[in-house]
């Protein structure tokens, strides 16, 4: 009976030690095509620059490359890590998600791409534990899913803002 009880506790204990699923590749790209009917490539390009200026703290620091003839804007951005719950936010709440954003414009649509997606931990001491920080790939599936949905939300905010710029009245 003792052996059976010990075996049951051992199986129960080992089951609780299962690791989180890890993808074979780190998170790389998130791409969204945005339909912007009735707008030319140049209009979308200018409105994209306005959106970047309104959405990021410093558009001059974000935009690394822009070419109106090709309709392309490339920049570097960062967002807070999208943590969920007490334990997750305790472990990753101070982290930042870094990415390269690329907006390609054509008549009636734009493609917004996020690439080079990494996370950066800040250096801090908490509860006697030292976190040395640094940049790392995103390898946890749940984190990849949360970050992907956050980046897709940013793409939807981009679409809403570009459309809203179209309907704003110039007569004030």
User: What is the residue extent of each domain of the chain?
Assistant: 22-165
Q: pLDDT tier at 158 (50, 70, 90 boundaries)? A: very high
Please check the confidence at residue 55 and state whether its pLDDT lies above 80.
yes
Q: What is the pLDDT of residue 2?
A: 75
Q: Does 10 have pLDDT greater than 70? A: no
Task: Name the DSSP class of 21.
Answer: P
CATH class for the domain made up of 22-165: alpha beta
Tell me which of 130 and 154 has the higher pLDDT.
154
Reference 111, options 57, 53, 167, 70; nearest CA is 70
Q: Are 112 and 41 in contact (CB under 8 A)?
A: no
In the structure, what pLDDT confidence band is assigned to residue 90 with cuts at 50, 70 and 90?
confident
pLDDT of residue 26: 85
Q: Determine whether 114 is exposed, middle or buried from the number of CB atoms within 10 Å of its CB (0-12, 13-18, 19+).
A: buried
User: Quick count: other Cβ atoms within 10 Å of Cβ 143?
Assistant: 21
Distance from C-alpha of 5 to C-alpha of 9, rounded to nearest angstrom: 6
**pLDDT band for position 37 (cuts 50, 70, 90):** very high
Crossing angle of helices 41-55 and 141-167, rounded to 10°: 120
Pick the more confident residue, 92 or 52.
52
- The SS3 of residue 97 is strand
């Amino acid at each position: 009976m003792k052996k059976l009880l010990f075996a049951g506790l051992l199986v129960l204990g080992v089951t609780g030690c299962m690791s989180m699923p890890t993808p074979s590749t780190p998170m790389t790209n998130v791409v969204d095509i945005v339909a912007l009917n009735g707008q030319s490539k140049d209009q979308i390009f200018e409105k994209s620059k306005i959106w970047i200026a309104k959405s990021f703290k410093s558009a001059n620091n974000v935009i690394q490359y822009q070419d109106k003839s090709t309709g392309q804007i490339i920049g570097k951005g960062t967002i807070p890590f999208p943590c969920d719950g007490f334990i997750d936010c305790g472990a990753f709440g101070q982290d930042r998600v870094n990415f390269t954003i690329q907006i390609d414009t054509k008549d009636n649509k734009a493609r917004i791409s996020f690439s080079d997606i990494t996370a950066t931990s800040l250096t801090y001491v908490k509860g006697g534990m030292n976190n040395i920080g640094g940049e790392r790939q995103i390898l946890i599936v749940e984190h990849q899913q949360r970050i992907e949905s956050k980046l897709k939300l940013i793409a939807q905010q981009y679409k809403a803002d570009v459309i809203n710029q179209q309907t704003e009245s110039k007569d004030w």
